[in-house]
Amino acid sequence: MVHAYVFPGQGSQFTGMGKNLYDANPMAKELFEQANTIAGFRISDTMFMGSEEDLKQTNVTQPAVFLHAVIAFKTIADPKPDMVAGHSLGEFSALVANGALSFEDAFKLVSIRAKAMQKACELVPSTMAAVLALADEKVEEICTTVQRETGEIVVPANYNCPGQLVISGSIRGVEIACEKMKAAGAKRALMLPVGGAFHSPLMLPAKEELAAAIEATTFNIPICPVYQNIVAKAVNNADEIKKNLIEQLTGAVRWTQSVQAMIADGASHFTEVGPGKVLQGLVLKINKEMVTDGVN
């Protein structure tokens, strides 16, 4: 059985996340304390006792979700991943799991990414919306039309599963696109409570900042392939991994296509590691024959 490990992204956070690991496992406690030192504040306290609002801040959410996922993975006795993937931010957790990045380097990159994205969000009022039950091709076509006709930015951002695609862009661009999606037959086109247009050209300032940090970081030869969001296929080469990780910030998360590629390459068992169960649900919507479970 080919065993894939998958790691969630922003949005799966909850108050108290990771406390069970901290309390029960000395190694987990040590890693949380190491992260607190690197972060320069006790991020573990925010995770364990912070309010929902505290955890919603991008510069807190991303390191928190990363920490929970990676530390949970490290508590698995003998994980032996055959392949890994992560949804957006989760790609950094996946790269620790397959040995391409050290825990410390990945945590530093995630912290830089989170702060850079927070700054980019503050530059231009922007948002995202979930479009349900409309063909991907139609969503893509409407985004292109709105951009051409209005000059507003709106692009497909997250291909989550068949019939669920998230779009991203300027507030006006997303609002116009949502109306057109509903008129075209979408079951719903729902604005999301997010602070910015992730995975769109509006993240370009953050991409430039992250690129410099990634280029200065050592990436190792991975023990198994990572199926990266931007290319939706197996990648083993460290230079390619770096390039794809940078491009992901302004490009789409091709989660549907990534899971399909993993299945085509033999995956039959998907373990989601980290907070929540969102990815298990998406995997089953992509292919209901898969075996799924979770570690958190």
Residue 196 placed within a domain: no
Render pLDDT for 132-152 as a digit per residue (tens, 0 to 9): 999 999 999 999 999 999 999
Residues 77 and 168 in one domain: no
Residue 88 appears among annotated catalytic residues: yes
Segments forming the whole domain that contains residue 152? 125-191
Based on the fold, state whether residues 109 and 251 are members of the same structural domain.
yes
Give the tens place of pLDDT for each residue, 240-273: 999 999 999 999 999 999 999 999 999 999 999 9
Task: Tell whether 289 and 212 lie within a shared domain.
Answer: yes
Q: Let me know if 68 is a catalytic residue.
A: no
Q: Kindly state whether residues 212 and 285 are assigned to the same domain.
A: yes
The pLDDT tens digits of the residues spanning 42-79 come to 999 999 998 888 888 888 889 999 999 999 999 998 88
pTM of this prediction? 0.95
Q: Which of 44, 68, 87, 88 is an active site residue?
A: 88
Active-site residue identified among 93, 126, 199, 258: 199
Can you spell out the DSSP letters for 237-279?
-HHHHHHHHHHTTTS-B-HHHHHHHHHHTTEEEEEEESSSSHH
CATH number at residue 270: 3.40.366.10
Structure tokens at 33: 């304390």
d(CA 59, CA 111): 7
Same-domain pairing of 87 and 160 = no
Cite the DSSP H helix spans in 76-170.
90-97, 103-123, 136-150
101 or 194: whose pLDDT is higher? 101
135 and 50 in one domain? no
| 98 and 34 part of one domain | yes
